[in-house]
Amino acid sequence: MKNIILSFFAVFILTAVTNCSSTQVNNQHYQREWMMVSFDKFTKQELIENEAGINLTGETTGTEIKGTAKMGCNRIFFKAKLNNKGKIKISGLGGTEMACTNMELENTFMKKFKKMTHYEIEGHRLMLSDDLGNEMKFVAADWD
């Protein structure tokens, strides 16, 4: 009887450790800083000059990440929920409200980012898209 109970607990602990490990690996796949390389009518040079990107390394609560973004001037914050089926839900989108010389990129980003519903990660690249075909493409900031 003792052996059966010990075996049960051993299997239970191994299963719990395996589940935690695989969840962590999946999270690490997207929990990083991403530099924007393609968006709307903006050139790659404009995106680079504005240091456009999103940061998904913030605090995690369950399946929700507190993220930030920069599109030139203001600090943008949001919450993102990603699932293993390529779906993303953006909520709580807001930002600081400093008057900047070029607000077009920030305004366009804020308008379209909250509508993103799909994500795809291939290696060091992240693509967000909505149901209308709008896309945002990123490359991992830590990729050489």
Q: How do residues 2-60 score in pLDDT, each as one tens digit?
A: 555 444 444 444 444 444 433 333 455 889 999 999 999 999 999 999 999 999 999 99
User: Residue 62 pLDDT more than 90?
Assistant: no
What value does the mean pLDDT take over residues 104-118?
97
Closest by alpha carbon to 87, among 131, 132, 119?
119
- The strand pairing partners of 75, in sequence order, are 70
pTM of the complete model beyond 0.85: no
Give residue 129's pLDDT. Answer: 98
- Cα separation, 85 vs 102, in Å, equals 36
CATH class of residue range 31-140: mainly beta
Q: Which residue has the higher pLDDT, 112 or 7?
A: 112
- The strand pairing partners of 61, in sequence order, are 64
Give residue 63's pLDDT. Answer: 83
The tokens describing 49, both together, are 């000059």
- The string of pLDDT tens digits covering residues 79-102 is 999 998 999 999 999 999 998 887
